[in-house]
Structure 1
Amino acid sequence: MATAQAFIETAIDADRVWQLIGGFDALPDWLPFIPESALSEGGRVRTLKSVDGDTIIERLLDYNEAGRRYSYTILSGPAPVRDYQSTLRVVAAGSGARVEWSGSFVPEGISDAEATALFTTIYEDGLAALKQQLAA
């Protein structure tokens, strides 16, 4: 099993950051490479469309409003991995926040290092976009 992780720190209050990113359907609000999201199954499944036209279907595994975190798995999509599980969380850090995005997965057709690099880049680019959105 391979893993990837990334984080950013921001001077914005953790509750305000969570308000922006905490909804399972909120990716289009801050992640420019996911412009569309539709919920189904009572809000437990999201169908995402990427800017490249790919469809990614993800299932919510755990949601903790008080802990400002949620975990999800990929049901289908173009990523060359299986058994993907990821967590997005916001942690209070002084008067600001630390946003952490991490995942574990089993690569298929690529090496652990390639899969780790792929998801590290996704997380880093996503969090950089979030930081820009928060600064706006």
Structure 2
Amino acid sequence: MAEAFWSVAYPIDADTMWKTIRQFDGLPAWHPDFGTSEIIDGAGEYEIGAVRVLTLNDGGEFRERLVGLDDSTRTLTYDIISAPAPVANYRGSMQVIPISDTKSSLVIWRSTFDPTDGSSAEDSARAMAEGAYAPALAALGTHVE
């Protein structure tokens, strides 16, 4: 099993950052690879069990299910149901942690998954962290004010 991890500190308070991260249907507003998101199952984007379809800019689709949304720990957890990515048994989470002395925040994006393309767990985790999470979190910093 691969374990991918990326984190970034932002000069933005944790509550403000969490308002953006907790929007399960809001990823295309700041993630550079996704053009649209639509909740297709469940009553809404904050309901556990909600399913979103994320459409990549190149037309590929991810289907993901919200499995946790915890305001007390500022953590959103989701599973990939299907995707044009070489992963199985994917569970991801994003967490916002306050940095007290500077009134800023640390955002952590982590996941566990099984690579399906024959890559080693270490190579797959590095590819996920550097190829997906790093550019997305860089873009997040320019979106949230």
TM-score bracket for the superposition, by shorter chain length? over 0.9
1:35 is paired with a residue whose SS is strand
Q: C-alpha offsets along residues 97-128 of structure 1, whole Å, 9 cap, x if unaligned?
A: 00000000001123123311221121111111
CA distance in 1, matches of 2:41, 2:59: 23
**Which among 76, 80, 86 is matched to residue 92 of structure 2?**
86
Once the two structures are TM-superposed, the CA of residue 133 in structure 1 deviates from its matched residue by 1.8
CA distance in 2, matches of 1:78, 1:32: 17
Q: Which runs of 5+ in 2 are unaligned?
A: 45-49
Q: Which amino acid aligns with 1:24?
A: F
CA distance in 1, matches of 2:118, 2:9: 31
1:25 is paired with a residue whose SS is coil
Instruction: Show the counterpart of 1:115.
Output: 124
Aligned length: 135
1:120 is paired with a residue whose SS is helix
Instruction: Show the counterpart of 2:108.
Output: 100
Q: C-alpha offsets along residues 35-61 of structure 1, whole Å, 9 cap, x if unaligned?
A: 200012223100000112100000111
Instruction: Show the counterpart of 1:15.
Output: 15
Q: Which amino acid aligns with 1:25?
A: D
Q: Which runs of 5+ in 1 are unaligned?
A: none
When normalised by structure 2's length, the TM-score is: 0.88
How well do the aligned residues superpose, as a CA RMSD in angstroms?
1.2
1:126 is paired with a residue whose SS is helix
Q: C-alpha offsets along residues 11-57 of structure 1, whole Å, 9 cap, x if unaligned?
A: 11101011122111110121121120001222310000011210000
**Which among 137, 140, 144 is matched to residue 127 of structure 1?**
137
Once the two structures are TM-superposed, the CA of residue 66 in structure 1 deviates from its matched residue by 2.4
